[in-house]
Amino acid sequence: MEYESSIAAAQKVLDDFMVAFNARDIPAFEATFNFPSVRLASNTFVILSKGDMKPERFTSGALAEWDHSAWERRSVIHAGADKVHIATRFKRSRKDGRRIGGVLSIYVLTRRSGPWGLKTTTLCAPPPDRHRTPLPSASRCRE
Asked which of 15-19, 61-65, 86-90, 119-123 is least confident by mean pLDDT, the reply is 61-65
| CA nearest neighbour of 17 among 74, 59, 60, 65 | 74
Q: Which pTM was predicted?
A: 0.84
- Pairing state between β 33-41 and 68-79: unpaired
pLDDT of residue 25 exceeding 70: yes
| Per-residue pLDDT reduced to its tens digit, 53-98 | 998 887 777 778 899 999 999 999 999 999 999 999 999 999 999 9
Q: What is the DSSP letter of 113?
A: S
